[in-house]
């Protein structure tokens, strides 16, 4: 599932290839992903010049160049969505759902499972309605705010971190990596953490997101938990202890029982 680092990568795709360019045409290949009529979607964006995109949590906002910034494209990538740039003229991929054509190539919304998709906002209130329930963006949340929001109710630390109304942008891979680096078990209660735990958690959250955002995904490096979670006989890259696996809040969870004691 695309998480904050992935969406930051998609933001760079838009920023690097289409900012300042006019949308020559819009082709809606699958009406189910645009959450409005294909005709309205096309009419609103075709001929518009793309302005600088921004990311909030797992959402990407793509404004158009005028005083108000509207109409504006909002993208949520669900489980399998992505923005892909293809230069020149290329055939459509079977999972291309919407194609924005420009003079020198095409920006493609590509999505196999089609769980969310693209939305059109024509004014600020529509953006606020979509994003208003989200917590602060995970890449910029302060330590104090993180602790305050996570301790409002006693709950396990992993599902609390993944709750988008608490903090926006973290998904399964990010949270497992952050907790492993923080040496915190995913089953710990948020009310059991002490000041030193919060300092470490906030620091590791920031470092994981910075490193991951630079490459546009949570990397599967040998020194990262993510690099070993799918191995048959997976072991902790820090201490070589066999990794534990379980479902927590319905999500596949991997941790080291030695480095992250309960």
pLDDT > 90? residue 117 = yes
The mean pLDDT value for 129-137 works out to: 96
Exactly one of 55, 58, 110, 204 is catalytic; which is it? 58
pLDDT band at 108 (very low <50, low <70, confident <90, very high): very high
The mean pLDDT value for 33-45 works out to: 96
The mean pLDDT value for 194-206 works out to: 97
Mean pLDDT of the chain: 96
pLDDT > 90? residue 245 = yes
Using CB atoms within 10 A of its CB, is residue 69 exposed (0-12), middle (13-18) or buried (19+)?
middle
Confirm whether 3 is a catalytic residue. Answer: yes
pLDDT band at 262 (very low <50, low <70, confident <90, very high): confident
Confirm whether 114 is a catalytic residue. Answer: no
Confirm whether 67 is a catalytic residue. Answer: no
- What is the CATH number assigned to the segment(s) 4-131? 3.20.190.10
pLDDT band at 90 (very low <50, low <70, confident <90, very high): very high
The mean pLDDT value for 240-254 works out to: 96
Q: Which long-range contacts (CB under 8 A, 24 or more apart) does 82-90 make?
A: 82/2, 82/6, 82/10, 82/109, 82/110, 82/111, 83/10, 83/13, 83/14, 83/107, 83/108, 83/109, 83/110, 84/13, 84/108, 84/110, 85/13, 85/16, 85/17, 85/18
Percent of all residues in the chain with a pLDDT value above 70, rounded to a whole number: 100
Question: Could you tell me if 120 and 75 are in contact, meaning their C-beta atoms sit under 8 angstroms apart?
Answer: no
Q: What is the reported pLDDT for 115?
A: 85
Domain locations in the chain as residue ranges: 4-131, 143-255
The mean pLDDT value for 128-157 works out to: 96
| pTM for the structure as a whole | 0.95
pLDDT band at 116 (very low <50, low <70, confident <90, very high): confident
Q: What is the reported pLDDT for 137?
A: 98
Exactly one of 3, 55, 186, 219 is catalytic; which is it? 3
Exactly one of 2, 5, 63, 71 is catalytic; which is it? 2
The mean pLDDT value for 62-74 works out to: 94
Tokens of 258: 């030695």
Exactly one of 22, 155, 183, 251 is catalytic; which is it? 251
Percent of all residues in the chain with a pLDDT value above 90, rounded to a whole number: 96
For the domain with range 143-255, which CATH number is right: 3.40.50.300, 3.30.70.1140, 3.30.470.10, 1.10.8.50?
Answer: 1.10.8.50
pLDDT band at 198 (very low <50, low <70, confident <90, very high): very high
Confirm whether 158 is a catalytic residue. Answer: no
pLDDT > 90? residue 126 = yes
């Amino acid at each position: 599932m695309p998480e904050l680092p992935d969406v930051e990568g998609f933001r760079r795709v838009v920023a690097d290839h289409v900012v300042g360019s006019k949308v020559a045409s819009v082709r809606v290949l699958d009406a189910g992903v645009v959450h409005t009529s294909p005709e309205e979607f096309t009419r609103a964006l075709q001929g518009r010049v793309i302005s600088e995109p921004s990311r909030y949590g797992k959402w990407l906002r793509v404004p158009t160049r005028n005083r108000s910034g509207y109409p504006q494209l909002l993208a949520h990538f669900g489980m399998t969505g992505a923005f892909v740039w293809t230069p020149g003229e290329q055939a459509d991929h079977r999972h291309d759902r919407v194609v924005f054509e420009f003079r020198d190539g095409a920006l493609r919304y590509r999505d196999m499972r089609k769980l969310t998709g693209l939305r059109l906002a024509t004014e600020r209130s529509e953006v606020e309605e979509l994003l208003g329930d989200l917590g602060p963006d995970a890449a910029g949340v302060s330590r104090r705010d993180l602790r305050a929001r996570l301790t409002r109710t006693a709950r396990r630390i992993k599902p609390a971190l993944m709750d988008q109304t608490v903090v926006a942008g973290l998904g399964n891979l990010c949270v497992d990596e952050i907790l492993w680096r923080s040496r915190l078990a995913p089953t710990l209660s948020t009310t059991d953490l002490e000041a030193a735990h919060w300092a470490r958690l906030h620091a590791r959250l920031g470092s994981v997101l910075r490193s991951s955002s630079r490459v546009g995904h949570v990397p599967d490096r040998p020194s990262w938990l993510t690099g070993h979670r799918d191995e048959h006989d997976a072991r902790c890259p820090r201490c070589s202890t066999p990794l534990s696996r379980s479902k927590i809040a319905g999500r596949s969870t991997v941790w080291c029982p030695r480095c992250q004691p309960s």
